[in-house]
Amino acid sequence: MDDAVMDRVLEADRVLASMREEVDVVIVGSGCGAAVAGLDLARAGKSVLMLERGGLYLPRRRDFDQREDDMFARIDGGRGLHTTENGQGALTYGGCVGGASVHYWADTWRAPKDRLDRWEREHGVEGHTEDHLRPWFELVEQTLNAHPAPPRRRNAMNRLFVEGAERAGIEWEPVVQARDDRCIDSGYCMQGCAYDGKQSQLVTHLPAALASGARLFADCDVERVLIEGGRAVGVAARFLDRRTTRPNGHRLEVRAKVVIVAAGGFATAPLLLRSNVPNPSGQLGRNLQMNPCPQLFGLFDREVVLWRGIPAAVGSMKYRLHTFDRGRYVEGGYLLHPNQLPPATLAALLPGFGAEHRRLMEAAPRIGSAIAWIDDLGSGSVRLDGEGEPIWRWSLGAADELTVRDALKKEATVLLHAGAGEVIVPDPAGTRISELKELSRLDTVDLRTGSMTFACPHPAGMCRMGRDPSTSVVDSSHEVHAVRGLYVCDPSVFPTAVSVDPSETIMAFSHVAAEGILRRMG
Amino acid sequence: MSSAPPRPPVAARHPLARRRFLAVGAIGGAALAAGGWLAARGGGEAHYASLCPAARPVVLDVKELGVLAAFCARVCPEPGGAHPGPAAVRVAERIDRELSFHTAKLRADVKAAIFLLEHGGWLHAAPTRFTRLGGPEQDAYLRRMGVEGRELERQVFSNLRLLALFFYYVDDRTWGAIRYNGPYVPRVAPPADSRPREGRLDG
């Protein structure tokens, strides 16, 4: 974001008193959903104010220093430590201006037609079919400069993944990337791009929204949506001291004709619950799916250097859908990718401790990894504790456990075919597999709570969209059934997980939502 | 504004009385409570202070920090070769500092986890505290906890292990040992957002 738009941004260190604002539209959040809606509404001449709980970090301020500890603290919603109640799911979500797009891998996928059709068929979602979304997908892809990475830019792990998949007979394909020519393949995508090469919201919709007249307050924690007479009329918020993450004593009240909550798939439902949004269907805060990610490691006799290069320039869609035979699970239900992990995160995930773990880490440059994004069948929920803090409840159910075990087998297959001398399972026993005939051992590795942790980067479902107010939270215009003027523009509205990276679909849905809001506002 | 009466801080409540994450069976809970009572009765402040000398914890108390430092000493690489070791990197203090940016709920969970780590032997009729065991016995204790333990023990081991290893290997003094040549961009001092929360403890 250049100086031309920075005068439209307010950060907490410049807030010297409590404030009151009156606008057409207030948007909670600044990630993929918020930024797109903000842009469309501002371009149409509406006065738009976006409120982001996290801080504003920019390459030109040299904020993105590529250190794992600094960057978890700055850009992750839970500073890297938020988990489900049982510790089995590690929640990965945005906590800064730009939301999760600041840490995402830049994979760009359209929601598959089968998933959009299912949402229409089973949930009564209208106006979000592939035909409806196509022009929006095209616009998003143009804005993000979405294109496959050329083969010369595949890092060692991506090349090994291709070798292993081809030898195993697993089809693979390039993954479309949201990058421009400033990307230098540094490998620090998850720590926030220091080069503005990754096309996060910081370099795409957000500056465009600000240039169109929208304003943005960072370090601004929305505590609740204000509801009067069944209609949303604004929000109440407080400013946070970025150095301590504690309230700085100054408050904000915004009165607005329209309230859009786009705080992300993990945070939107808790905000609505804290706001006492009527919940006649009982579905608010339920149906949480989040693409748990099982991963395996492979020890190679050559350098892989898992922390350099574009993370997932290739992948396999072959197993995206579950297959069943007369009701019995056969295989599939996940995407398969080469993995990327910076060193300290790798250390935390590799099994063992003491001398055994030390030996593994001393071989870290030779460690490769494959990861799967599980398309959940089960689901979780969120509730609030006595202090109003969210507690996310989720555990790996029996159906998803079968999917995880199958995904682990495919990961091991790829790694072994790629030449890994040994596959390392991150279970408490530190199971090792060195031959394909040992894959059946993955049928019994310990997946219990407390034994294996799954990164969960793609939340969906806790404000699910649908025609019937008795089974859903928002209607197809993204408006909450029970509260007029309150809209949700983030993956919370997806009735299920998308089965691919959701960012492009979030943006396309937000274009649809903004179009409808403008029509209603006149 | 809420009209509800103020609640005591979560951390002030008994750590074993809350959340399924820390739920233990009645027998286990009683055993731990007995262990905790005996530990409190037995004092041992100097013992714990010696495990993390000259430290000034922010969130944890001296005992908790000492137990955490003892845990890090077994989990992270011993000093030697290119490894500085967890004491030099002050891993336990890094974790303590990190906790100051989290909710009372998360801080209470970590405190309760450290309590169970120190006194969890009671769950197996082995009352010797973790920090009073010798090195090989501590390794066996941790192996039992992480591999064969009940759900709660596995959670405690797994989560503390994750913290210890992460905060060891984020320190640039460890990078030579794993042939990581580090970021491409310099760290700005002070960082643009907040020096205190990330501040190096050695400088």
Structural domain boundaries enclosing B68: 27-171
| Tens digit of each residue's pLDDT (9 = 90 or more) over A313-343 | 999 999 999 999 999 999 999 999 999 999 9
Q: Which pLDDT score, from 0 to 100, does residue B36 have?
A: 53
Q: Which pLDDT score, from 0 to 100, does residue A158 have?
A: 98
Which chain A residues contact residue B146 at CB under 8 A?
Answer: 353, 428
- Cα-based distances in Å from B51 to A122, A234, B44, B65: 59, 53, 11, 8
Q: Please give the residue of chain B at the shortest CA–CA distance from A430.
A: B147
Q: Which pLDDT score, from 0 to 100, does residue B186 have?
A: 85
The two structure tokens encoding residue A509: 């849905």
Structural domain includes residue B120: yes
Architecture of domain A8-56+96-104+109-143+200-288+459-521 in this structure: 3-Layer(bba) Sandwich (3.50)
Instruction: Answer whether residue A491 shows pLDDT above 60.
Output: yes
Contact check, Cβ <8 Å, B98/A79: yes
φ, ψ of residue A377 in degrees (nearest 5): -100, -40
Q: Which pLDDT score, from 0 to 100, does residue A112 have?
A: 98
Q: Which pLDDT score, from 0 to 100, does residue A3 have?
A: 84
Fold of A151-182+291-456: Cholesterol Oxidase; domain 2 (3.30.410)
Report A:111-170 residues touching B (Cβ under 8 A).
Answer: none
Q: Which pLDDT score, from 0 to 100, does residue B43 have?
A: 59
Which chain B residues contact residue A185 at CB under 8 A?
Answer: none
Contact check, Cβ <8 Å, B192/A62: yes
| Tens digit of each residue's pLDDT (9 = 90 or more) over A243-296 | 888 999 999 999 999 999 999 999 999 999 999 999 999 999 999 999 999 999
Structural domain includes residue B90: yes
Compute the average pLDDT of residues B160-179.
97
Instruction: Answer whether residue B200 shows pLDDT above 60.
Output: no
Instruction: Answer whether residue B198 shows pLDDT above 80.
Output: no
Q: How many helices and strands (H and E) does chain A possess? A: 12, 23
Instruction: Answer whether residue A80 shows pLDDT above 90.
Output: yes
CA distance A241 to A221: 11
Query: In this prediction, what percent of chain A has a pLDDT beyond 90?
Result: 98
Contact check, Cβ <8 Å, B169/A347: yes
Q: Which pLDDT score, from 0 to 100, does residue A276 have?
A: 97
Contact check, Cβ <8 Å, B185/A307: no
Instruction: Answer whether residue A27 shows pLDDT above 50.
Output: yes
Average pLDDT, chain A: 97
State whether residue B200 sits within 8 Å of chain A by CB.
no
Q: How many domains does chain B have?
A: 1
Compute the average pLDDT of residues B154-175.
97
Higher per-residue pLDDT: B150 or A347: A347
CA distance A490 to A506: 6
| Tens digit of each residue's pLDDT (9 = 90 or more) over A355-376 | 999 999 999 999 999 999 999 9
Structural domain includes residue B105: yes
Q: Which pLDDT score, from 0 to 100, does residue B39 have?
A: 53
Instruction: Answer whether residue A349 shows pLDDT above 70.
Output: yes
State whether residue A381 sits within 8 Å of chain B by CB.
no
Q: Which pLDDT score, from 0 to 100, does residue B190 have?
A: 53
Enumerate residues 6+ apart whose C-beta is below 8 A from A106: A177, A178, A179, A189, A198, A199, A200, A310, A311
Compute the average pLDDT of residues A443-450.
94
Compute the average pLDDT of residues A55-73.
95
Nearest-Å Rg of the Cα atoms of chain A is 22
CA distance A368 to A346: 10
Q: Which pLDDT score, from 0 to 100, does residue A100 have?
A: 98
State whether residue A343 sits within 8 Å of chain B by CB.
yes
Q: Which pLDDT score, from 0 to 100, does residue B196 have?
A: 38
CA distance A349 to A366: 15
Residue B188 banded pLDDT, cuts 50, 70, 90: confident
ipTM summary value: 0.96
Residue B38 banded pLDDT, cuts 50, 70, 90: low
| Tens digit of each residue's pLDDT (9 = 90 or more) over B114-153 | 999 999 999 888 889 999 999 999 999 999 999 999 999 9
Instruction: Answer whether residue B11 shows pLDDT above 90.
Output: no
Compute the average pLDDT of residues B70-87.
97
Nearest one of A291, A321, A289, A334 to A492, comparing CA atoms: A289
Higher per-residue pLDDT: B10 or A235: A235
Sketch the domain layout of chain A as residue ranges. 8-56+96-104+109-143+200-288+459-521, 151-182+291-456
CA distance A291 to A493: 16
Which chain B residues contact residue A66 at CB under 8 A?
Answer: 183-185
Which range has the top average pLDDT, A81-90, A229-238, A240-249, B39-48?
A: A229-238
- Do the bridges between strand A246-261 and strand A19-28 make them parallel or antiparallel, or are there none, so unpaired? parallel
Helix B104-119 to helix B151-169 angle, to the nearest 10 degrees?
110
Compute the average pLDDT of residues A118-128.
98
Contact check, Cβ <8 Å, A67/B187: yes
